[in-house]
Amino acid sequence: MRKLSLFVLLLCALLCGCKHAGIDRSPRSTRSPGFVYVQDRQFMLDGKTWFPLTLNYKPIVATTNGTLRIIPAYYYQSPSLAHDFQHIADMGFNCVRICLDIIPEEKDFGALYHAIGQMTDTAELYQLKVMLLIKRPLEDNLIRYTEGLLQHLADKSNLWAYDFFNEPLYFDEAELRDKMEAYQIVCRWREMMDNYAPHQLFTIGFAEPIEVFEWDPTILPVDFVEVHTYHPLRVPSEMRWYSNNCIDRPWMVGETALPADNDSVSYEYQRQFLLQSYTLARQYHAAGYGWWEYHECPDGVNFEAQFTGLVNQNNEDKPAVLELPTLKDKTIPTDNYQVPSNYYNMLGYNNIILKGRVVESKSGQSIKDAVVRGWTKNWIGMNTYTDENGNFTLYSNDFNVHFEISAPGMNTIKFDRSNIQYHFADAEAEKKWTFETLPNRHLEYQSIDYKPFLETDSLTLDFNPTFFNQYKIEGEMGVVRISKLAN
């Protein structure tokens, strides 16, 4: 049924959602009094720049005396939405991103629409704008549900945006999604917004830059690009890539965080990370900033999921909260931001380097900011980008055997290692080499120490310029050709 529904959806998009067979990213016209709208790379409200400082929030559905209501997630230990929204506003936030994708669609759509409407009205009482993260409307029942939701809430000006899909990179059920297929899906979603919620904005929650392989943020006709970036070593690099390549509409940080339990990771590190990641976002021209999430989650699947909250399990605010009221008055220059020193070697891998060049297939023109992804045989992945001449150097601690490469507005190629030859710069080192002599071969990014970055209070990372160790294992991929998508 899913494949049939998706075929019908795509056929409708082809016939109705796009004006021609090529890529159309012209901005939607959404400029109504009291509603947030887009102008250049900024959000505007009543003629003034509006910067959403957003906290992510999880609700659940409950039925009391036959009445359906939206209430706080059980682990928030909260008496009501009003209590939490007042607290969030007092912290210094002006927006909440509410995760409706975790709640079931009730059989009575009307009752659920009414409850969601009441929730947005409650947020408005505390001067909080609302972004709703909804379940991706790909199947017929979710398409009908979403159309009704958009129509029911169309006149609520404090509901400023919808997020139609949380992190396609991780949660798209399709094993391989062609870029143009993703584009046609988003065309249909754009048409839904035009028909049922013409005054509000919509987006997708994009994860790391390898989203460009399938859900390419630079071609999708969303109103703005919302980015999720985690881990202090990755944040500077990923923010810069999005800032460089999402240039025709706003981009914002929708999720970032550093987990802190004040034991293995101190609250002080979390405080520093909030300040530094916010500063980076502003320096890289982000139009908004969001933190994951409101309250710690004791049942989270890992340390990150459990301890990113700004309120701990004793219902106490963590010290990072004290910084929030100061952010709106923080002056941050954006005209001369630095390139992170780890931009091309995000995690500081230093055993092996693989070099190559990416060009457009027909013209041979160099492709800047192409994303190059490598995986080891154990599927440990690492990324890099091409420079202004199309050249790249992929750093790793083990040999890469699988690859994927794409660039904004270009096709995606995926292949395994075939004729790539690695060699040693030092003949004596080659004689002594075994796999066991390579240090940190199985090191994942979660295990790399990021604390020096926080302690220096610096916007760049000072890696050893040698970049790779005494083995000096080098490889050459040669020229990789990718094609422009049809316009």
Query: What SS3 class is residue 356?
Result: strand
Q: Is residue 187 in a domain?
A: yes
pLDDT at 3 over 70: no
| 126 and 245 inside one domain | yes
Query: What SS3 class is residue 125?
Result: helix
| 271 and 391 inside one domain | no
Segment 445-452 shows an average pLDDT of 80
Beta-carbon contacts of 360 under 8 Å, excluding residues fewer than 6 positions away, are: 367, 410, 481, 482, 483, 484
Closest among 246, 209, 207, 199 to 224, alpha carbons compared: 246
Dig out the tokens for 283 from the structure.
Answer: 């320096």
| 45 and 103 inside one domain | yes
Query: What's the CATH code of the domain at 432?
Result: 2.60.40.1120
Q: Is residue 70 in a domain?
A: yes
- What per-residue confidence (pLDDT) applies to 462? 43
pLDDT at 14 over 70: no
- What per-residue confidence (pLDDT) applies to 50? 96
- What per-residue confidence (pLDDT) applies to 103? 79
| 364 and 449 inside one domain | yes
Q: For the chain, give the mean pLDDT.
A: 88
- What per-residue confidence (pLDDT) applies to 431? 75
| 129 and 210 inside one domain | yes
Segment 455-469 shows an average pLDDT of 47
Segment 291-319 shows an average pLDDT of 95
What gap in Å lies between CA 274 and CA 135, rounded to an integer?
28
- What per-residue confidence (pLDDT) applies to 329? 78
| 365 and 289 inside one domain | no
Q: Is residue 432 in a domain?
A: yes
Segment 193-202 shows an average pLDDT of 97
What gap in Å lies between CA 292 and CA 56, rounded to an integer?
5
Q: What is the pTM of this model?
A: 0.90
φ, ψ (nearest 5 deg) of residue 406 = -155, 175
Distances (CA, A) of 270 to 90, 239, 257: 19, 19, 8
| 294 and 398 inside one domain | no
Q: Is residue 487 in a domain?
A: no
Q: Is residue 413 in a domain?
A: yes
Segment 283-303 shows an average pLDDT of 94
Q: Is residue 346 in a domain?
A: no
Residue 487 confidence class, pLDDT cut points 50, 70, 90: low
Beta-carbon contacts of 259 under 8 Å, excluding residues fewer than 6 positions away, are: 265, 270, 303, 304, 305, 306, 307, 308
Segment 59-65 shows an average pLDDT of 89
What gap in Å lies between CA 131 and CA 151, rounded to an integer?
16
Residue 297, Cβ neighbours under 10 Å: how many? Answer: 18
Segment 232-251 shows an average pLDDT of 93
Q: Is residue 341 in a domain?
A: no
- What per-residue confidence (pLDDT) applies to 438? 81
Closest among 68, 279, 34, 268 to 160, alpha carbons compared: 34
Segment 356-378 shows an average pLDDT of 95
Chain-centre distance of CA 51, in angstroms?
18
Continuous segment of H or E residues that includes residue 195:
helix 179-196
* Overall domain count for the chain: 2
- Which residues lie across from 373 on neighbouring strands? 383, 404
- What per-residue confidence (pLDDT) applies to 60? 93
Look at the alpha carbons of 385, 387, 390, 396 in this order and tell me if their dihedral is positive or negative.
Answer: negative
Segment 386-401 shows an average pLDDT of 93
Segment 451-463 shows an average pLDDT of 57
Closest among 174, 255, 243, 251 to 215, alpha carbons compared: 174
- What per-residue confidence (pLDDT) applies to 37? 96
The pLDDT tens digits for 112-165 are: 999 999 999 999 999 999 999 999 999 999 999 999 999 999 999 999 999 999
The pLDDT tens digits for 403-416 are: 999 999 999 999 99
The pLDDT tens digits for 332-361 are: 777 767 788 889 988 888 888 999 999 999
Beta-carbon contacts of 185 under 8 Å, excluding residues fewer than 6 positions away, are: 9, 10, 13, 138
| 388 and 302 inside one domain | no
| 186 and 241 inside one domain | yes
- What per-residue confidence (pLDDT) applies to 22? 62
Residue ending a domain, among 281, 310, 327, is 327
Query: What's the CATH code of the domain at 254?
Result: 3.20.20.80
Closest among 237, 483, 247 to 382, alpha carbons compared: 237
pLDDT at 7 over 50: no
- What per-residue confidence (pLDDT) applies to 450? 80
Residue 430 confidence class, pLDDT cut points 50, 70, 90: confident
- What per-residue confidence (pLDDT) applies to 456? 61
| 305 and 162 inside one domain | yes
| 426 and 312 inside one domain | no
Find the domain containing 430 and state its range. 352-482
Q: Is residue 338 in a domain?
A: no
Listed as own residue / partner, the contacts of 191-194 with beta carbons closer than 8 Å and 24 or more positions apart are 191/13, 191/16, 191/17, 192/137, 192/143, 192/146, 192/147, 192/150, 193/28, 193/150, 193/162, 194/28
Q: What size, in residues, is the chain?
A: 487
Segment 28-45 shows an average pLDDT of 90
